[in-house]
Structure 1
């Protein structure tokens, strides 16, 4: 899906000199392939002719996205900082490849970073690259396995005397470096856009704040479709040279646009923090108008809340177990001696031993035992796999070969 169609980009280059990212990175040791000036002369997605040396030219994933999370309610990461999601190589037409080379998948990023002496990067990641299920290394593995293995300049053949997993360390290092150059919290704060329980913002104001920075281009802002709350931002780049040590040039958005509404966007504060704050500033906040905390995990199932899984992650709207995205909001309604559950997909019930939510599903009356979701007096559920590998895993009430035993608790909103 790599497009060879060229588009005008002189306007993009007009602000290159102003950007701190638009220089060849002078890190020691130099990582990745050694690219000559000629090898690095064409900007990804804007080449004037086919390029054969894909160790010094990102293809087909030449539209590289630095993606960041804002996780509030529940809080993840420092109170006054967004956190890293990943570094993604989208194709020039907005499509993408994923999970490109199972032979290079990582199962322990922490060990890799320690092996290559990247302890400073690792320590930074422990604060600013956080998972929503307390499995940070699992998130790092997922990002490399899904996205990093699809970046042409990270192939082992692009290195001289390649050491196993060297590219994994370089990918993490580069992602952290780019993140440090794009402090979304401060970018928005400089425009008077601060987390609030009482004030909403417009998409135009968010975009204007980003465009006033050295990035100079619009970003993709994503929101929770139910609450209209900010959850993520994607910054687009094209690159001269390799992804490891090349020149990153801010680029216009290609592919999926912002899904936030034009007005009424909530930017909720992290009331409790989630891993330490980069400053000592204390913020006093008030309860939000649409998602007021009324309980904590383990309390009785009532009102609106998340269904958290003890192995990490939560149940999403169809009733499947997932660890890499936003938890679904469920509504628990009293019924007889228990309660029923409903998600945005519809009523939830046990269908042929499987927990499902959707149109046509008949509600099951659930109970609670010891703060855990119970069905016919049992609090054990069973995942048909392990969602920590990035899958959406069906959940059953019966055990079986290869199934993971789970318990499910309630986090009231």
Structure 2
């Protein structure tokens, strides 16, 4: 009888272990936002106005799983591709905070960006997120962090002026406790400018962590904070593009 009880206990224990969710097989996340003015002002600038009532602000790029060795998983599951019906309740917010300003396609198409982000990155994090929670988590972090206000409070404004790279990083670090990574591109004159901000999260995307590595090598010690594009300049950009 005792033997039967022991065997039964071991079977139940194995079932509990096997039903436990597998831990993420990557080390951390990058959460990335970008500044639209750096696209419109770049050598590869293509600046069609996005859909929705978009304010002058940083936009979400995505949430990307990373390995500590500098590589990352991508396009992990072609059986669970992006389905907009699974995020239908989030679309209005996504159109305002996760728009595409021609950095990947021109004219812009937010749905293409959302599809790309889930198919490339989201399909590799399904031990942590389903489609809805992946996009909702991005929106929650965007609501939590207003980079434009954080920088403005330290006198760093999108006025086309030059600001110290360390000055920008320290302003954000004082707010969240961890230094960001800053990625730059170049304007039409070759001046390095603020393009994307990288923050690192643990592999469950719960807490900020110190970044193992960041893309700061693309920047100079002083970088330009380009102006946010105005509607009249958008029209000019489009006319130039259509004539090429």
The alignment's TM-score, normalised by the length of structure 1, stands at: 0.46
> 1:203 maps to which residue?
165
Are residues 1:113 and 2:76 paired? no
Secondary structure in structure 1 of the residue aligned to 2:238:
coil
Give the structure with higher Rg (CA). Answer: 1
Are residues 1:223 and 2:184 paired? yes
> 1:127 maps to which residue?
96
Secondary structure in structure 1 of the residue aligned to 2:239:
coil
**Can you give the 5+ residue segments of structure 2 that lack an aligned partner in the other structure?**
1-16, 41-46
Secondary structure in structure 2 of the residue aligned to 1:169:
helix
User: RCO (CA 8 Å, sep 6+): is it higher in 1 or 2?
Assistant: 2
1:251-330 pair list within 5 angstroms: 251-272=209-230, 295-299=236-240, 308=241
Please tell me whether the aligned partners of residues 151 and 157 of structure 2 are also in contact (alpha carbons under 8 angstroms): yes
Secondary structure in structure 2 of the residue aligned to 1:80:
coil
Secondary structure in structure 2 of the residue aligned to 1:212:
helix
The alignment's TM-score, normalised by the length of structure 2, stands at: 0.75
Aligned partner (choices 46, 60, 65) of residue 84 of structure 1? 60
Q: Deviations over 1:24-46 (max 9, x none)?
A: xxxxxxxxxxxxxxxxxxxxxxx
Q: Deviations over 1:352-382 (max 9, x none)?
A: xxxxxxxxxxxxxxxxxxxx5xxxxxxxxxx
Displaced runs of 4 or more, over 6 A: 51-54
Aligned partner (choices 151, 171, 175) of residue 188 of structure 1? 151
Partners of 1:52 and 1:66 in 2: CA distance: 31
Secondary structure in structure 2 of the residue aligned to 1:224:
strand
> 1:58 maps to which residue?
24
Partners of 1:59 and 1:234 in 2: CA distance: 21
Secondary structure in structure 2 of the residue aligned to 1:221:
strand
Once the 2 structures are TM-superposed, how far is the Cα of residue 52 of structure 1 from its aligned partner? 8.6
Please tell me whether the aligned partners of residues 24 and 128 of structure 2 are also in contact (alpha carbons under 8 angstroms): no
Once the 2 structures are TM-superposed, how far is the Cα of residue 252 of structure 1 from its aligned partner? 1.4
Give the root-mean-square deviation of aligned CA atoms: 2.9
Once the 2 structures are TM-superposed, how far is the Cα of residue 264 of structure 1 from its aligned partner? 3.0
Once the 2 structures are TM-superposed, how far is the Cα of residue 250 of structure 1 from its aligned partner? 1.4
Once the 2 structures are TM-superposed, how far is the Cα of residue 298 of structure 1 from its aligned partner? 3.5
**Can you give the 5+ residue segments of structure 1 that lack an aligned partner in the other structure?**
1-50, 156-166, 275-291, 300-307, 309-371, 373-408
Please tell me whether the aligned partners of residues 79 and 269 of structure 1 are also in contact (alpha carbons under 8 angstroms): no
Secondary structure in structure 1 of the residue aligned to 2:63:
strand
Number of residue pairs aligned between Structure 1 and Structure 2:
209
Partners of 1:88 and 1:218 in 2: CA distance: 18
- Which structure carries more helix by proportion? 2
